[in-house]
């Protein structure tokens, strides 16, 4: 898939004086990068400053970090069906501003993306409107009702990168078993939400805070039980499974145990769950009503340790645009979700600045790790790979203001947060899709 349609191929460029970091090759050198026809041609020190192409341009990176563009495994948009919350175009703008060059678009739209024609629609809209690569995920069950399998083979041929019921947890063990078994024949990836519907009907983490605020709680077990069930099913079916968003320390243990047993599983954590805990909800701030919910501080720390030691494979934005009509309500009546495309990198960098996780590992969890799990060519700076890159300054301080967001919805969990590290340039297939003065 390409970004913006343009008849002209992107011009050749030489990025000089960059700290080049590529987690896929553990590369961290001061070098130049030559990009031509949308691909990475050469990485090296002191590359020739002259080129036969007339449009050739040199970009001085001023020692900032040039790395692979971020790949986000969990983004919700509102197109089709809820364009007032987010369109493919506005989501792509937000992604570009956040340094995300590819994102998996969740099938939770109206209608649900459960059919070849709808996957085609998303891809076509992406081609027309999107600055970044949009990778459609298809519904695991028809209409996301958890009853009948969707056409995995045909959907995959049409370009679906994974199968998921998005926000919904597959409640039937039999359904999950068959999906894992059947998708296995196509090497298809099942991405699953893990929040038991009956047990997890609350609105925030169960515990003292929920009790104090008089809100129904979501016990940790609501996540652990379906996750443990799914691990059993993966062992039984030899399927390929990805846990979309972990939130409890026990869930990290479950995944670690499954990986020890050699199961084909991976797991992600939402950026909010590594930066915030339930105390941040304060006095019923609905923008911090999230799914999975913000948990305790110990859980947050377990997420970070999971990222560091490799149990958790990806950090995702869990971008879920909501409008005032679904958020400016009493906490218990509001919808879950927060936008996250534009804060993903900065939240990830907090782990680096706090000396919890090496920078290379943080970048890996947001780019090459997820790309590898999806089996994509992007997420690397290897010669011949698509020139999906970002240039960022890991140290520049900034404050997130909701009115500066590119997303059509403003429901950020990080309003007024202080961050360190910001995207300067986002390049998709050799074209600059976002840039900021530096």
Partner 1 sequence: MAKTDQKHKKSELDAPAFQIPAPNLKHLIGIEGLSALDIHFMLDRAEEMVEISRRVDKRRPTLSGRTLINLFFENSTRTQSSFEIAGKRLGMDVINMAVAQSSVKKGETLVDTAVTLNAMQPDLLVMRHHAAGAAELLAQKVGCSVINAGDGAHEHPTQALLDALTIRRKKGSIEGLVVAICGDVAHSRVARSNILLLNTLGAQVRVIAPSTLLPSSVENLGVTAYRSMEDGLKGCDVVMMLRLQKERMAGAFIPSMREYFRFFGLDKSRIALAKEDAIVMHPGPMNRGVEIASEIADGVQSVIVEQVEMGVAVRMAVMEVLQQSRQENAT
| Positions in the binding site for partner 1 (CB under 8 A) | 206-208, 210-215, 217, 219, 283-284, 325, 328-333
CA distance 18 to 258: 39
Would you call 378 helix, strand, or coil by DSSP? coil
Residues contacting 245, CB < 8 A, separation 6+:
74, 193, 194, 268, 269, 270, 273, 291, 292, 316, 318
Peptide bond into 62 cis (omega under 30): no
Cβ closest to partner 1, residue 204 vs residue 341: 204
Count, residues in the chain: 438
Q: Which C-beta is closer to partner 1: that of 268 or that of 288?
A: 288
Helices 359-366, 297-309: axis angle to 10 degrees equals 90
Query: Nearest distance from residue 249's CB to partner 1, in Å?
Result: 17
In the complex, the smallest distance separating the C-beta of residue 297 from partner 1, rounded to whole angstroms, is: 15
- CA contacts within 13 A on the Cβ side of 238: 4
CA-to-CA distance for 319 and 303, rounded, in angstroms?
18
Q: Which is nearer to partner 1, 209 or 432 (CB)?
A: 209
Residue 296 or 302 with smaller CB distance to partner 1? 296
Closest to 402 measured CA to CA, from 386, 414, 387, 418? 414
Residues whose CB falls within 8 Å of the CB of residue 212, separated by 6 or more in sequence, listed in order:
none
Minimum CB distance to partner 1, residue 215 (Å): 5
Residue number, 52 or 283, with CB nearest to partner 1: 283
C-alpha atoms less than 13 angstroms from C-alpha of 307 in its C-beta half-sphere: 36
Q: How far is the CB of 332 from partner 1 (least distance, A)?
A: 5
Q: How near is the Cβ of 415 to partner 1 at its closest, in Å?
A: 14
Closest contact distance (angstroms) between CB of 301 and partner 1 is: 20
**Measured from the CB of residue 78, what is the shortest distance to partner 1 in angstroms?**
19
Three-state DSSP class for residue 319 = strand
Closer residue to partner 1, CB minimum distance, 139 or 206: 206
Count of helices and strands (H, E) across the chain: 13, 18
Structural contact between residues 285 and 57, judged by C-beta atoms closer than 8 angstroms: no
| DSSP three-state, residue 401 | coil
Half-sphere exposure of 181 (CA within 13 A, CB side): 11
Cα separation of 404 and 208, whole Å? 35
Report the distance separating Cα 95 and Cα 211, nearest Å.
37
Write down the least CB distance from residue 272 to partner 1, Å: 20
Closest to partner 1 by CB, 262 or 282? 282
Q: How far apart are CA 70 and CA 346, in angstroms?
A: 12
DSSP state of 104: E
Main-chain dihedrals φ then ψ at residue 328, nearest 5 degrees: -85, 60
Token digits of residue 19: 């700290």
The nearer residue to partner 1, 292 or 430, going by C-beta atoms, is 292
For the CB of residue 228, give the shortest distance to partner 1 in the complex, in Å: 21
User: Minimum distance from CB of 210 to partner 1 (Å)?
Assistant: 7
Q: What does each C-alpha distance from 106 to 62, 163, 258, 293 come to in angstroms?
A: 37, 9, 25, 19
Nearer to partner 1, 161 or 334 (CB): 334
**CB of 203 vs partner 1, minimal distance in Å:** 9
Q: Which is nearer to partner 1, 221 or 228 (CB)?
A: 221
By beta-carbon proximity to partner 1, the closer residue of 182 and 331 is 331
């Amino acid at each position: 898939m390409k970004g913006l349609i343009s008849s002209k191929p992107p011009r050749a460029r030489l990025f000089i004086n960059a700290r080049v970091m590529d987690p896929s090759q553990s590369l961290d050198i001061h070098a130049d990068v030559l990009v031509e026809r949308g691909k990475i041609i050469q990485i090296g020190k002191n590359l020739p400053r002259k080129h036969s192409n007339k449009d050739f341009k040199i970009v001085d990176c001023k020692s900032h970090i040039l790395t692979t563009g971020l790949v986000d495994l969990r983004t919700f948009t509102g197109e089709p069906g809820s364009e007032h919350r987010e369109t493919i175009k506005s989501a792509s703008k937000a992604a570009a501003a956040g340094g995300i060059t590819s994102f998996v678009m969740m099938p939770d739209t109206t209608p649900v993306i459960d059919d070849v024609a709808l996957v085609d629609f998303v891809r076509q809209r992406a081609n027309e409107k999107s600055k970044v690569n949009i990778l459609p995920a298809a519904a695991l069950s028809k209409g996301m009702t958890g009853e009948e399998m969707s056409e995995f083979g045909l959907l995959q041929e049409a370009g679906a990168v994974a199968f998921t019921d998005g926000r919904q947890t597959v409640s039937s063990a039999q359904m999950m078993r068959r999906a894992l078994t059947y998708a296995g024949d196509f090497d298809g990836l099942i991405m699953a939400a893990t929040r038991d519907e009956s047990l997890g009907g609350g609105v925030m983490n169960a515990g003292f805070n929920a009790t104090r605020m008089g809100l129904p709680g979501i016990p940790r077990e609501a996540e652990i039980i379906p996750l443990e069930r799914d691990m059993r099913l993966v062992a039984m079916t030899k399927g390929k499974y990805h846990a979309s968003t972990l939130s409890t320390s026990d869930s990290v243990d479950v995944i670690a145990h499954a990986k020890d047993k050699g199961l084909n599983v991976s797991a992600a954590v939402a950026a909010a769950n590594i930066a915030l805990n339930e105390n941040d909800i304060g006095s019923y701030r609905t923008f911090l009503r999230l799914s999975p919910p913000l948990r305790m501080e110990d859980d947050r720390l377990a997420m970070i340790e999971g990222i560091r030691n490799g149990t958790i494979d990806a950090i995702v934005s869990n971008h879920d645009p909501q409008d005032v009509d679904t958020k400016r309500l009493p906490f218990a009546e509001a919808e879950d979700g927060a936008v996250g495309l534009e804060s993903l990198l900065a939240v990830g960098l907090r782990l680096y600045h706090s000396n919890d996780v090496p920078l290379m590992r943080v970048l890996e969890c947001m780019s090459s790790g997820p790309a590898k799990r999806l089996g994509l060519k992007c997420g690397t700076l290897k010669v011949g790979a698509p020139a999906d890159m970002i240039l960022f300054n890991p140290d520049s301080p900034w404050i997130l203001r909701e009115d500066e967001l590119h997303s059509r919805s403003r429901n950020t969990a990080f309003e007024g947060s202080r961050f360190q590290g910001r995207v300067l340039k986002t390049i998709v297939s050799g074209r600059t899709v976002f840039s900021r003065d530096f």
